[in-house]
Amino acid sequence: MKLNIDGLLVCFPYDYIYPEQYSYMLELKRTLDAKGHGVLEMPSGTGKTISLLSLIVAYQKAYPLEVTKLIYCSRTVPEIEKVVEELKKLMDYYTKQTEAKNDFLALALSSRKNLCIHPEVSSLRFGKEVDGKCHSLTASYIRAQHHCNPSQPVCQFYEEFDAVGRQVLIPPGIYNLNDLKDFGRRKGWCPYFLARSSILHANIVVYSYNYLLDPKIADLVSKELAKKSVVVFDEAHNIDNVCIDSMSVNITRRTLDRCQTNVETLQNTISRIKETDAAKLQEEYRRLVEGLTEANVARETDMYLSNPVLPDEILQEAVPGSIRTAEHFVGFMKRFLEYLKARLRIHHVVQESTPQFLKDIYEKVCIDRKPLRFCAERLRSLLRTLEIADIADFSAITLISHFATLVSTYNKGFTIIIEPFEDRTPTIANPVLHFSCMDPSIAIKPVFGRFQSVIITSGTLSPLDIYPRILDFRPVTVASFTMTLARTCLCPLIVGRGNDQVAMTSKFETREDFAVIRNYGNLLLEMSAIVPDGIVAFFTSYIYMENIVASWYEQGILENIQRNKLIFIETQDAAETSMALMLNKNKISANGVRNIILIKCKRLFISFSFQPPVHHYGRAVIVFGVPYVYTQSRILKARLEYLRDQFQIRENDFLTFDAMRHAAQCVGRAIRGKTDYGLMIFADKRYARADKRGKLPRWIQEHLTDGSLNLTIDETVQLGKHFLRQMAQPFRQEDQLGLSLLTLEQLQSEDMLQKIAQIAQA
Amino acid sequence: MHHINIITMASLSEEVLLVVKRVRQRKQDGTLYLMAERIAWGPEGKDRFTVSHLYADIRCQKISPDGKAKIQLQLVLHTGESTTFHFANESTALKDRDATKELLQQLLPKFKKKANKELEEKNRMLQEDPVLFQLYKDLVVSQVISAEEFWANRLSLNSVEHSLSNNNKQEVGISAAFLADIRPQTDGCNGLRYNLTTDIIESIFRTYPTVKQKYAENVPHNMTEKEFWTRFFQSHYFHRDRINTGLQDIFSECAKEDEKGLKSMVTQGVKNPMVDLLSLEDKTLDEGYGTATVPTTSNSSNKSLRENSNSAIIKRFNHHSAMVSKAYTPLDVILTSLFVAFQVKLQEAIEYDDLQGDSGRKTISLNLKKSDRYSHGPIPLQSQHYSTSQDIINSISIIQHEMRSYKPRLTQVMSSSAASSAITALSPGGVLMQGGGQQTINQLVPTDVQSELKHLYTAAGELLRHFWSCFPVSTPFLEEKVVKMKSNLEKFQVMKLRPFQEKIQRQYLSTSLTGHLEEMLQAAYNKFQAWQMRRMMRKT
């Protein structure tokens, strides 16, 4: 249908629309008009992606000079492909409507592993191997050697692309990863480099967060993207952690040992080259005197390393004299390395700020701040000069140089923690230096600064005000949309007590309590008897899950659950878990039976952040306990302190916020769409408190009545039974029409528009 | 044990597999023979068998519990009869019995399949067709005709059609809780008793193929069946932590084997990209970056014993569930679903079926033969009189379907006028049935009599159909059959019709109720006599 969104003609590729989609597009349009940033929360399963795409594409078509590009960031490869697939659908609709040829170019970009078509390289299984192998075939000096010596292997796809493909623009169309590969095969061009060069003139780019947030990659891939772009971060509930991860470094003794060997290799190579080809080093020296401006000239294939947030002044300045010659630099690195080794030789925990660290290093080994800042750039130049083929080997020294640059660049927002051993095993010495970023805004700042509109959206972003605070930006629109429902298809219940009235909680003091474990088991058992399809059960941590499962086994609870459902338990081995998931998928498609219980650990689950598989199983989702992070961790403590000092966010507020967003993520999986239905069971009495409850997304909170707080297991079963029976009645489209599903005519009616205006709430 | 020299009484072509002397049957001493296709027993000193059962007829064997004074073996036949043998040789009785049991155990399954199929088929037909069932009761159970005669021209009709539907038969799955359901009972003196049924054993074998292999290797050469299962339940394999398996445990290998299987599955990788956790992340952080403390060197040596056993439990449950769910997914389904294009999956993932105009949901419906049995559980055969609304809807749709594909074979039917005139001639009041009254019976007689009459009609109709189908009598087989059918008709008249007539007389109802029936029978007799006369004439 064709919609009129605030004066903009939007083609929407479906015959019906949800009211909240309309409302979402309205808000989005306002954000784009204001050229500002936005935070939008809309429940999963209400067609967020297609609303986003429809509106932004329409906007691009209407105002091609205002918005030139859409950069859509998602988290996982399947998600990326899903987005492109929806885009295809939208574009098909456009061509059908206008009967004009599509002149849009949209493409997905992923790592080499997912795009390589070189027969040998693409058969490698791990991303790192693929990258390394690719580099050894496409680096500029390898290709130069190939010119003189044809027996040197190169990648013919890259050669072909470089010779022909660079000048020819890829024809307009929607390219998913597989389409790119097909196109590459047809032409004999490398799809990865084709995609990388094409994103500059594509109208829509879909790739993962890291290409924008991780400065090491962003510098390489996204540097030249137009300023007038709209950036969308989908599934952005974890965006702060992605930012932090991309800027944090851990150094162990093993890293240092490997770095040591790297330094030795460098030294040997330098002395060898000095004998054979001293001119080369001379040339490099000359270049360094001239400054680093040539960094831009570096060819895209030479991905030795890119600098984590290169401050602009570095690029203008010349590399300081103390590290300008190759030998001096290696000596400098050696000294730095020795210093780090000495720091790791401690017996107590040390925590210090970056200025403290710099002061200490100056006092102990006379290393100045300035050369440290140039460390990463200098190493990059050296590695290129020495023509080292396998950069994967030099990951340790690269890491150290990144650390050096980061630690000398930022005074604030970072902390250094040196731990001599792990807390769990105080007898085993395993010193680690955590260089931990505490301020997610550092990594995302360039994104907000550079692009005209940045949209942060997810199904669970509550409480909405916290994201602008921790990411340090000023949004023009902040809105949360509820799900309009013709029937209440979600049923959140908070179970606080067992049938024996013992409180159920995963509070640290009582979590190992026998009664708590038994009650948790009884809850799962009772639910397994009444829920017709699958149940997904989440635990707060892997170890806790293991313990509970073991004691359930001893008490015979698992045996009884097995009578009702098959049980799959997540293991720490991702491969094994995906195997189990796959077997299950097959079973579902083959028999239409979905009687499974998936037992998962919450933290692990989130770190994998996979969405699709769980869909099919979750008729009921049970969250055992409140998924707090491990609060004893020093890194976390430091971060909490920083948040309190810098952003005035109290520790408890942040911890609760973090726990509740994880919980909301888990239960959010229960509902796939409006025709779906699911039970959401929070099994901890603490959920009933206002401070926890209030942090759940609005669309869940709405259905949480006072009658469903602090229930016993029996009451839960009764309520659940009742709900499931009601929901199992046939549900037709007619029931939804006019309420939660609208035709074009209904949408245009006056009172409906009024109702829609109420859906969005800031 | 003796050898072939005494087998003169059996037909010589038969191979004798086992001879057991001093076996009593009905308090008579004798000898038990196990032959290739049957089991037989002859009393001492006589040269013929008084008991002989084909293996195909035997449903199962039962043995007396250990420790009982009498060592017996009972054979239960499909007909429900049973024969009990008592092994009376004091010194070797137990051994004899076990030898017999073992041999039977190997032999019976071979024959079982064949017999079962036919029986099942018959059973199914009777269950599905209440009229047929009534007929069966009227004719076979009351011994008007024999079961073979009854089935003679029915099975062939249906077997073709049924074998078609057999092709996509649904396999029975394994209950997830089958292991939990094997509840050991204490036998009072520090022991445990496990009751194993064939179903459970089958489940164990299908879930743990390695156990099946072990069974094939060891039973009966190395140990008896009982010993095998005893060891199985004693083993760590069955129990929780598999890591501590000792060497003497024959199942320790199984655990390793399973582990290997699981590993190989894992290394093969996951073909469905939507669930492959390894490839989800597009660009992982390099080693050393990130805040998450990497679980450094979490070797098994680092972990406590308890943690190890915990993860063993988790592994075991996953393995169990994987095997159970695999067991009822046919291999080809797994394979095809692996190759279902990723594109299709993506499409599925982005569908919003309620936003679409027409939401053609594709669901896989459970293919139930008898939906009422699914919802009510098994019920005795007698309660098949009613039909659910679903049945009616189904049958209507079946009829509609048949009508659509109906093609009259015009060469083989008589003209409609001829047919209708034949029917009128045979109806009460018609040319051939002059004697009968023409009142409508439904006002005159009580319903039970009506229904009885109905049954009589169908039974008589069936018999008459058999009878008339013999004409023209062209082969000696048909001749034989027609004679038999005539006697069957007479038998029917005597055993069924007469009692009914007496009954209605007692209730002071008009005997003319059965007039039509008798006329029909009379017509058949007349025909028979005419035929016989002609035959005699021809012979003389």
Element (H, E) at A92: helix A77-98
pLDDT at B436 over 60: no
Average pLDDT over residues A56-71: 92
Q: How far is A344 from chain B (nearest CA, A)?
A: 15
Residue B414: C-alpha distances to residues B273, B365, B408 (Å): 65, 44, 11
Instruction: Give the H or E element holding residue A467.
Output: helix A466-471
Residue bearing tokens 């048949």: B402
Confidence of residue A593 (pLDDT cuts 50, 70, 90): very low
- Lowest-confidence segment of A411-425, A711-725, B428-442 by average pLDDT: B428-442
Compute the mean pLDDT over every residue in chain B, rounded to the nearest whole number.
70
Average pLDDT over residues A137-161: 84
Interface test with B, best of A576, A588, A601, A634 (most B CBs within 10 A): A576
What pLDDT shows up at residue B10?
43
Scanning B413-472 for CB atoms below 8 A from A yields: none
Q: What is the pLDDT of residue A306?
A: 41
Q: Which has more confidence, B142 or A488?
A: A488
Rg of chain B over CA atoms, in angstroms? 34
- CB of B344 within 8 Å of a chain A CB? The answer is no
User: How far is the CA of A746 from the CAs of A2, A21, A738, A750, in angstroms?
Assistant: 13, 14, 7, 9
Residue B444: is its pLDDT beyond 70?
Answer: no
**Helix A574-591 to helix B305-327 angle, to the nearest 10 degrees?**
20
Considering only A390-394, A631-635, B238-242, B441-445, which range has the smallest mean pLDDT? Answer: B238-242
Residues 6 or more apart from B335 whose CB is under 8 A from it? Answer: none
CB contacts, 8 Å: A568 with chain B:
317-318, 321-322
Q: Which of B275, B278, B356 is facing A585, going by the closest CB pair? A: B275
B-chain residues within 8 Å CB-CB of A252? 288, 296
Mean pLDDT calculated for residue range A34-40? 93
B283, B288, B310: residue with CB nearest A399: B288
Strand-pair category, A173-175 with A105-108:
parallel
Interface mutation vs chain B, best among A14, A77, A484, A640, most B CBs within 10 Å: A77
pLDDT at A51: 93
The answer to whether residue A39 scores a pLDDT higher than 60 is yes
**Chain B neighbors of A210, CB-CB under 8 A:** 282-283
Chain B residues touching residue A425 (CB < 8 angstroms) = 302
Span A366-381, pLDDT tens digits:
898 888 888 888 888 8
Q: What's the confidence (pLDDT) of residue B333?
A: 42
Question: What pLDDT score was predicted for residue B168?
Answer: 46
Tens-digit pLDDT profile for residues A217-267: 887 777 777 888 899 999 888 888 888 888 888 898 889 999 999 999 899
Within an 8 Å CB–CB cutoff, is residue B165 touching chain A? no
How far away is chain B from the Cα of A578, in angstroms, using its nearest Cα? Answer: 5
Residue B87 in tokens: 């092994």
pLDDT at B392 exceeding the cut of 50: yes
Would you kindly state where each structural domain of chain B is located, as residue ranges? 16-115, 178-243+250-268, 444-539
User: Would you state the pLDDT for residue A714?
Assistant: 93
* DSSP, residue by residue, A675-700: T--EEEEEE-GGGGSHHHHTTS-HHH
Chain A residues in contact with B263 by the CB 8 A cut-off are none
Spell out where A511-611 has E strands. 535-539, 566-569, 596-601
Q: B339-343 long-range CB contacts below 8 Å, 24 or more apart? A: B339/B271, B342/A81, B342/A178, B342/B273, B342/B274, B343/A178
**Residue scoring higher pLDDT (B373 or A467):** A467
Most confident of A30-44, A287-301, A538-552, A562-576: A30-44
| Chain B CB contacts of A110 below 8 Å | 282
Any residues with CB less than 8 A from the CB of B45 and at least 6 apart, and which?
none
pLDDT of residue B383: 46
Instruction: Give the model's pLDDT for residue B408.
Output: 65
Query: Could you say which of B283, B288, B292 has the minimum Cβ distance to residue A210?
Result: B283
Chain B neighbors of A577, CB-CB under 8 A = 277
- What is the four-CA torsion angle of B62, B65, B66, B67, rounded to 10 degrees? -140
Residue of B nearest to A732 (CA): B354
pLDDT at B2: 40
Q: Over 90: is that where the pLDDT of A682 sits? A: yes
Per-residue pLDDT at A611: 37
* E strand or H helix that includes residue A282: helix A278-290
Confidence of residue A487 (pLDDT cuts 50, 70, 90): confident
Q: Is residue B517 within 8 Å of residue B497, measured between CB atoms?
A: yes
Residues of A in contact with B338 (CB under 8 A): 586
Contact B282 A76 (CB under 8 A): yes
Three-state SS sequence of A616-670:
HCCCEEEEECCCCCCCCCHHHHHHHHHHHHHHCCCHHHHHHHHHHHHHHHHHHCC
Measure in Å the smallest separation between the Cα of B429 and chain A Cα atoms: 56
Strands A69-74, A204-208: pairing is: parallel
Mean pLDDT of B318-325: 71
Average pLDDT over residues B517-534: 86
Q: Does residue A154 surpass a pLDDT of 80?
A: yes
| Nearest neighbour of A566 by CB, restricted to B274, B315, B321 | B321
Nearest to A88 by CA among A75, A105, A74, A76: A105
Strands A249-252 and A429-437: antiparallel
Q: What is the pLDDT of residue A594?
A: 38
Local confidence band at A752 (pLDDT 50, 70, 90 cut-offs)? confident
Taking 90 as the threshold, does the pLDDT of residue A54 lie above it? yes
Structure tokens at A377: 């750039």
- Lookup: tokens for B220: 């009966």
Task: Confirm or reject contact between A733 and chain B (CB < 8 A).
Answer: yes
Closest to A353 (Cα-Cα) out of A454, A251, A435: A435
List of chain B residues whose C-beta atoms are within 8 Å of the C-beta of residue A635: 291
User: Is residue A609 a contact partner of residue A235, using CB atoms and an 8 Å limit?
Assistant: yes
Q: What is the pLDDT of residue A390?
A: 66
In this model, does residue A344 exceed pLDDT 80? yes
Of all helices (H) and strands (E), which one includes residue A495? strand A490-497
Residue from A49, A88, A222, A250 to probe the interface with B (highest B Cβ count within 10 Å): A250
**Could you tell me if A729 lies within 8 Å of chain B, comparing CB atoms?**
no
- Chain B residue with CA closest to A563: the answer is B177
Q: Which of A613-622, A660-669, B339-348 has the lowest mean pLDDT?
A: B339-348
Average pLDDT over residues A4-33: 91
Nearest to B258 by CA among B215, B315, B203, B218: B315
Distance from CA of A82 to the nearest CA of B (A): 6
Quote the minimal CA–CA distance from A497 to chain B in Å.
Answer: 27
pLDDT value for A106: 93
The mean-pLDDT minimum among A221-235, A450-464, B180-194 falls in B180-194
Q: pLDDT class for A573, splitting at 50, 70, 90?
A: low
Q: Which residues contact A578 (CB under 8 A, 6 or more apart)?
A: B270, B275, B276, B277, B278
Q: Higher model confidence: residue A209 or residue B382?
A: A209
A409 membership: H or E segment, kind and range: helix A395-409
Task: Yes or no: say if A51 and A44 are a contact pair by the CB < 8 Å rule.
Answer: no
Tell me which residues of chain B, numbers 249 to 268, contact chain A at a CB-CB cutoff of 8 Å: 262, 265-267
Per-residue pLDDT at A360: 93
Instruction: Give the integer Cα–Cα distance in Å for B444 and B446.
Output: 7
pLDDT over 50 at B164, yes or no: no
Is B329 in Cβ contact with A591 (below 8 Å)?
yes
Q: How far is CA B365 from the centre of its chain?
A: 24
CA distance A279 to chain B (A): 34
| Predicted confidence band of residue B338 (pLDDT cuts 50, 70, 90) | very low
What confidence score (pLDDT) does residue A562 get? 80
Lowest mean pLDDT among A155-164, B116-125, B129-138, B232-241: B232-241
| CB contact (8 A) between residue B322 and residue A583 | yes
Report the Cα–Cα distance between both ends of chain B, in Å, rounded.
Answer: 61
Structure tokens at A24: 């979402």
Q: Does A205 touch chain B (CB under 8 A)?
A: no
Task: Give the sign of the dihedral formed by CA B263, CA B268, CA B272, CA B275.
Answer: positive
Cis geometry, peptide bond prior to residue A13 (ω within 30 degrees of 0): no
Is the CB of B164 inside 8 Å of chain A's CB atoms?
no
A187 contacts chain B (CB < 8 A): no
* Nearest-neighbour CA in chain A from B268: distance (Å): 10
Torsion-angle region of residue A628: left (phi > 0), alpha (psi -120 to 50) or beta?
beta
CA pair distance B530, B526, nearest whole angstrom: 6
Q: Which range among A112-126, A151-165, A282-296, A326-340 shows the weakest confidence by mean pLDDT? A: A282-296
A80 close to B (CB below 8 A): yes
- Starting at the edge strand found earlier in the chain, the sheet holding B71-77 runs B51-54, B38-43, B28-35, B16-25, B82-87, B71-77, B58-63
Locus of tokens 């993506």: B346
Which has the minimum average pLDDT: B69-83, B207-221, B245-259?
B245-259
A296-303 mean pLDDT: 44
pLDDT band at B412 (very low <50, low <70, confident <90, very high): low
Contacts A–B by Cβ distance under 8 A: 258
pLDDT of A715: 93
pLDDT, position B311: 73
Has residue B194 got a pLDDT over 80?
A: no
Fold designation for B16-115? PH-domain like (2.30.29)
C-alpha to C-alpha distance for A519 and A500, rounded to whole angstroms: 8
Q: How far apart are the first and last CA of chain A?
A: 28
**Alpha carbons B140 and B150: distance in angstroms, whole number:** 7
Under 8 Å between Cβ of A72 and A212: no
Yes or no: say if A446 and A231 are a contact pair by the CB < 8 Å rule. Answer: no
Do residues B251 and B259 make contact, with C-beta atoms less than 8 angstroms apart?
A: no
Option in B270, B285, B325 nearest A566 (CB): B325
Interface of A with B in 349-368 (CB under 8 A): none
pTM of the model: 0.69
| Position A103 pLDDT exceeds 80 | yes
3-state secondary structure of A143: helix
Window B:314-343, CB contacts with A under 8 Å: 314-315, 317-318, 321-322, 324-326, 328-330, 333-334, 337-338, 342-343
For residue A477, the SS3 value is strand
Which residues from chain B sit within 8 angstroms of residue A245, using beta carbons?
A: 285, 289-292
The mean pLDDT value for B272-294 works out to 58
A760 CA to centre of own chain: 26
**Quick check: B64 pLDDT over 90?**
no
